[in-house]
């Protein structure tokens, strides 16, 4: 392995983030390894989404720094930085006036790919996320929630980024569709081995998808644990989470960090 | 029926004044769009400018039109030709609805959509032309539509300073106390207003159904 591969993909160094008088994030230190799925778990307002936005510089740290591939996110060209990562948010993020094909092909297109190459890539991605090719010419409002979310994932993967940022991507879906998409996410991730940072407040989802779980509370990182460790952790916040979700979690954690 | 006979007998003049009217309204609406849309875009992105700009456009709107035409009369280059002057005044009046609708239209674009675009590495210019303007287009067009309809009415007053248009008939009719002459100006003006409303509205629907 070359030195570059042993560097963390993303590193938070003593990061704090404040908006006006509100301390959103403080004393935040975290390494995210290449190819892992790190889940940021926490309740609403705990700073998960902000943490994600610090990575693609939709937010800039008040102090400390965020390193992406060893370079400070603040020093590199922000547009290039963002194009090197996929970004998936709840279904609202699709452009309503673009067809599915244009939505998916957006990043390659603004990256200057030739037309045919974009089209071929769109076809490939539709297949990858399990959508029929004829959806390409539809508009987002003509799709179901699950289909829209698949388009969102395809769009994030379009330019083949190494890093994927996912902000509660399956949060607005019904349980069956969510289950299906989680399963497909695991299969996809086994193949693609992206570095994924995944935000959720759903412990079950965190246990199922994450190789490690970073638990956040009130703008602080409480602990980082593997799914198996999480279930038996003596940490009060972790055990409070486990209690709140009740029985049957063990089976969810089976995949673990296999 | 007298009106119709009058209009048929003077059809050449009715046509000429209608075309003059259309020219005044068309040019001023076009200029106001050219100025108002970029201004609206600007104040949607630079919040601190929105109050002064909208206040300015509002103040212009409150000046009585006859007074504005009068004020502008002594201005050197403008005063030389009354149609220039009328076009300037009509353009100023048309600004407010266009600026305001452009501003509101862009402000109304879903923040999540913009954030997704930004997060994917779109530049601000790409966001503006590929996301904000297309999504705000129908609101912007309805502002232009309101501006055009208002201009049709206001342009009748331009005749008071000799800029021509259908107002000529109206003022002449008032002076002659002849309803036929007044209506010969008012009816085509009303039709023009409806046409302006309809044609921009049609464009608006076309763009929305894409």
ipTM: 0.83
pLDDT at A257: 43
With a cut of 50, say whether residue B4 has pLDDT above it. Answer: yes
Q: Tell me whether residues B123 and A79 touch, CB distance under 8 A.
A: yes
Instruction: Tell me how far apart the alpha carbons of residues B109 and B195 are, in angstroms, rounded to a whole number.
Output: 30
Res. A255 pLDDT band, cuts 50 70 90: low
With a cut of 70, say whether residue B63 has pLDDT above it. Answer: yes
A94 — contact with chain B (CB < 8 Å)? yes
Test the A interface: residue of B105, B109, B113, B119 with most A CBs within 10 Å: B119
H helices present in chain B, as ranges: 2-9, 11-45, 50-62, 65-72, 76-80, 82-107, 111-119, 124-127, 133-154, 167-176, 179-208
Mean pLDDT of A52-61: 93
Res. B209 pLDDT band, cuts 50 70 90: low
For chain B, list residues whose CB is within 8 angstroms of any CB belonging to chain A: 110, 112-113, 115-123, 126, 130-131, 134-135, 210
A102 — contact with chain B (CB < 8 Å)? no
> Which among A12, A27, A167 has a CA at the least distance from the CA of A74?
A12
Q: Tell me whether residues A94 and B134 touch, CB distance under 8 A.
A: no
A209 — contact with chain B (CB < 8 Å)? no
pLDDT at A1: 42
Higher-confidence position of B134 and A173: B134
Test the B interface: residue of A68, A77, A80, A95 with most B CBs within 10 Å: A95
Mean pLDDT of chain A: 89
Q: Are B96 and B145 in contact (CB under 8 A)?
A: no
Q: Which residues pair with A67 in a beta bridge?
A: A11, A72
Tell me the per-residue pLDDT of A156-199, one tens digit each, with 9 for 90 and over: 999 999 999 999 998 888 889 899 999 999 999 999 999 999 99
With a cut of 90, say whether residue B101 has pLDDT above it. Answer: yes
Instruction: Tell me how far apart the alpha carbons of residues A65 and A63 are, in angstroms, rounded to a whole number.
Output: 7
pLDDT at B83: 83
Mean pLDDT of chain B: 90
Please report residues of B whose CB lies closer than 8 A to that of A110.
Answer: 121-122, 126
Phi first, then psi: give them for residue A74, nearest 5 degrees. Answer: -80, -20
> Which among A183, A160, A187, A158 has a CA at the least distance from the CA of A170?
A183
Phi first, then psi: give them for residue B196, nearest 5 degrees. Answer: -60, -45
Q: Which residues pair with A65 in a beta bridge?
A: A13
Higher-confidence position of A138 and B161: A138
Q: Is the pTM of this model over 0.95?
A: no
Instruction: Tell me how far apart the alpha carbons of residues A127 and B17 are, in angstroms, rounded to a whole number.
Output: 63
Q: What does DSSP assign to residue B132? A: I
């Amino acid at each position: 392995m070359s030195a570059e591969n042993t560097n963390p993909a993303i590193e938070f160094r003593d990061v704090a983030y404040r908006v006006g008088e509100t301390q959103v994030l403080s004393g935040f230190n975290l390494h995210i390894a290449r190819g892992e799925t790190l889940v940021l778990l926490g309740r609403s307002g705990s700073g998960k989404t902000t943490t994600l936005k610090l990575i693609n510089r939709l937010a800039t740290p008040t102090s400390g720094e965020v390193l992406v591939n060893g370079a400070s996110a603040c020093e590199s060209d922000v547009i290039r930085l963002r194009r090197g990562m996929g970004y998936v948010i709840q279904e609202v993020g699709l452009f309503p006036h673009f067809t599915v094909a244009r939505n998916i092909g957006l990043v390659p297109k603004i990256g200057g790919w030739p037309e045919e190459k974009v089209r071929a890539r769109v076809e490939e991605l539709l297949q990858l996320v399990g959508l029929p090719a004829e959806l390409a010419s539809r508009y987002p409002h003509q799709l179901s929630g699950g289909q829209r979310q698949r388009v969102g994932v395809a769009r994030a993967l379009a330019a083949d980024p190494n890093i994927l940022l996912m902000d509660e991507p399956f949060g607005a879906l019904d349980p069956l569709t969510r289950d299906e998409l989680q399963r497909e996410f695991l299969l996809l991730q086994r193949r693609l081995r992206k570095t994924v940072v995944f935000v959720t407040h759903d412990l079950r989802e965190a246990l199922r998808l994450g190789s490690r779980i970073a638990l956040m509370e009130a703008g602080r990182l409480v602990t980082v644990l593997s799914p198996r460790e999480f279930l038996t952790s003596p940490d009060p916040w972790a055990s409070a989470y486990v209690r709140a979700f009740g029985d049957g979690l063990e089976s969810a954690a089976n995949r673990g960090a296999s | 029926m007298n009106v119709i006979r009058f209009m048929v007998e003077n059809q050449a003049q009715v046509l000429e004044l209608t075309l003059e009217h259309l020219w005044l309204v068309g040019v001023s609406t076009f200029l106001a769009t050219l100025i108002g849309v970029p201004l609206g875009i600007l104040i949607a992105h630079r919040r601190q400018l929105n109050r002064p700009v909208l206040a300015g456009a509002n103040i212009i709107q409150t000046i009585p039109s006859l007074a504005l035409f009068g004020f502008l009369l002594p201005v050197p280059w403008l005063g030389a030709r009354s149609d220039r002057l009328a076009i300037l005044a009509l353009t100023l009046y048309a600004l407010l609805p266009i600026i305001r609708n452009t501003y509101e239209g862009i402000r109304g674009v879903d923040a999540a959509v913009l954030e997704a675009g930004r997060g994917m590495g779109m530049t601000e210019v790409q966001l503006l032309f590929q996301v904000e303007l297309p999504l705000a287009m129908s609101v912007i067009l309805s502002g232009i539509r309101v501006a055009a309809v208002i201009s049709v009415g206001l342009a009748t007053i331009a005749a008071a300073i000799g800029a021509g248009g259908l107002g000529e008939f109206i003022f002449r009719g008032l002076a002659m106390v002849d309803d036929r002459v007044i209506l010969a100006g008012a009816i085509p003006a009303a039709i023009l207003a409806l046409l302006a409303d309809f044609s921009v509205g049609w464009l608006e629907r076309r763009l929305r159904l894409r």
